[in-house]
Amino acid sequence: MNFEFVRTGKPVDKLYGETYRPQFHFSPAKNWTNDPNGLVYYEGEYHLFFQHNPFGINWGNMTWGHATSRDLVHWKERAPALHPDKLGTIFSGSAVVDFADTAGFQKGDEKVIVCIYTSAGGTSPESTGRPFTQSLAYSNDRGVTWTKYEKNPVLGHVAGSNRDPKVIWHEPTKKWVMALYLDGNDYALFGSKDLKEWTKLCDVAMPGTGECPDFFELPVDGDPGRKLWVFWGANGNYRLGTFDGATFKPKTDVIRSLWGANDYAAQSYSDIPDSDGRRIQISWMNGGRYPGMPFNQQMGFPRELTLRTTPQGVRLFMMPVREIEGIRSAKKDWKDTALKADGPALPLGEGELWDIEAELDPGSAQEVGLRVRGLEIVYDTRAKTLACLGKTAPLEAADGRISLRVLVDRTSIEIFAGGGLVAMCSCFLPDLLARSLDAFARGGEARIAALALHELKSAWD
Q: What does the alpha-carbon distance between residue 240 and residue 308 come to, in Å, rounded to a whole number? A: 12
User: Which of 77-84's residues contact partners 24+ apart within 8 Å by CB, and which partners?
Assistant: 77/28, 77/29, 78/143, 78/144, 80/52, 80/54, 81/38, 81/49, 81/115, 81/137, 81/143, 81/146, 82/49, 82/115, 82/117, 82/137, 82/146, 82/148, 84/124, 84/126, 84/127
Give the type of residue at 313: G
For residue 143, is it within any domain?
Answer: yes
- Locate all alpha helices (DSSP H) within 22-140, ordered by sequence: none
Active site residue 98: no
CA angle 101-104-106, nearest 5°? 70
Number of domains making up the chain: 2
List the 436-442 sheet strands across, edge first: 346-350, 436-442, 367-372, 375-380, 385-388, 391-394
Kindly state whether residues 46 and 167 are assigned to the same domain. yes
- pLDDT tier for residue 364 given thresholds of 50, 70 and 90: very high
- Last residue of one domain, picked from the residues 213, 238, 257: 257
As a whole number, the mean pLDDT across the chain is: 96
3-state secondary structure of 419: helix
For residue 376, is it within any domain?
Answer: yes
For residue 2, is it within any domain?
Answer: no
- Locate all alpha helices (DSSP H) within 274-321, ordered by sequence: none
Q: Please tell me the predicted confidence (pLDDT) of residue 13.
A: 74
Kindly state whether residues 346 and 239 are assigned to the same domain. no
Q: Please tell me the predicted confidence (pLDDT) of residue 3.
A: 44
Kindly state whether residues 205 and 339 are assigned to the same domain. no
pLDDT digits (tens, 9 = 90+) for 209-245: 999 999 999 999 999 999 999 999 999 999 999 999 9
Q: Please tell me the predicted confidence (pLDDT) of residue 278.
A: 98
Q: Please tell me the predicted confidence (pLDDT) of residue 230.
A: 98
- Quick check: 393 and 422 in contact, CB under 8 A? yes
Name every residue whose Cβ is closer than 8 Å to that of residue 280 and which is 6 or more positions away in sequence: 39, 72, 268, 269, 272, 302, 303, 304, 305, 321
Neighbours of 240 (CB within 10 A): 20
Per the DSSP assignment, residues forming a β-bridge with 173 are none
Q: For residues 290-304, give the mean pLDDT.
A: 97
- Pairing verdict, β 175-183 and 163-170: antiparallel
CA angle 112-115-119, nearest 5°? 145
Q: For residues 360-370, give the mean pLDDT.
A: 97
Q: What does the alpha-carbon distance between residue 306 and residue 127 come to, in Å, rounded to a whole number? A: 41
Kindly state whether residues 351 and 206 are assigned to the same domain. no
Q: What is the dihedral of CA 426, 427, 430, 435, to 10 degrees?
A: 50
- Pairing verdict, β 75-82 and 385-388: unpaired
User: String of b and e for 78-105 (b: at least 16 CB within 10 Å)?
Assistant: eebbbebeebbbbbbbbbbbbeeebbeb
Kindly state whether residues 237 and 383 are assigned to the same domain. no
List the one residue out of 391, 402, 347 whose CA is nearest residue 371: 347
pLDDT digits (tens, 9 = 90+) for 31-67: 999 999 999 999 999 999 999 999 999 999 999 999 9
Percentage of the chain modeled with pLDDT above 70: 97
DSSP symbols for 111-130: PEEEEEEEEETTSSGGGTT-
For residue 12, is it within any domain?
Answer: no
For residue 21, is it within any domain?
Answer: no
Q: Please tell me the predicted confidence (pLDDT) of residue 6.
A: 42
- Quick check: 180 and 190 in contact, CB under 8 A? yes
Q: Please tell me the predicted confidence (pLDDT) of residue 10.
A: 56
- pLDDT tier for residue 461 given thresholds of 50, 70 and 90: confident
Kindly state whether residues 212 and 359 are assigned to the same domain. no
Residue 444 half-sphere exposure, CB side, CA atoms within 13 Å?
13
Kindly state whether residues 217 and 341 are assigned to the same domain. no
Q: Please tell me the predicted confidence (pLDDT) of residue 391.
A: 98
Q: What does the alpha-carbon distance between residue 421 and residue 308 come to, in Å, rounded to a whole number? A: 9
Q: For residues 309-336, give the mean pLDDT.
A: 97
Q: What does the alpha-carbon distance between residue 310 and residue 132 come to, in Å, rounded to a whole number? A: 41
- Last residue of one domain, picked from the residues 257, 278, 297: 257
Q: What does the alpha-carbon distance between residue 95 and residue 76 come to, in Å, rounded to a whole number? A: 18
For residue 275, is it within any domain?
Answer: no
- pLDDT tier for residue 12 given thresholds of 50, 70 and 90: low
Per the DSSP assignment, residues forming a β-bridge with 239 are 231
- pLDDT tier for residue 140 given thresholds of 50, 70 and 90: very high
Domain that holds residue 376: 324-456
Catalytic residue (choose from 35, 164, 271, 355): 35
pLDDT digits (tens, 9 = 90+) for 188-209: 999 999 999 999 999 999 999 9
Asked if the model's pLDDT at residue 1 lies above 90, the reply is no
Q: What does the alpha-carbon distance between residue 293 and residue 279 come to, in Å, rounded to a whole number? A: 33
Residue 431 belongs to a domain with what CATH number?
A: 2.60.120.560
- Last residue of one domain, picked from the residues 257, 279, 311: 257
For residue 314, is it within any domain?
Answer: no
User: In this structure, what are the phi and psi dihedrals at residue 156, rounded to the nearest 5 degrees?
Assistant: -75, 180
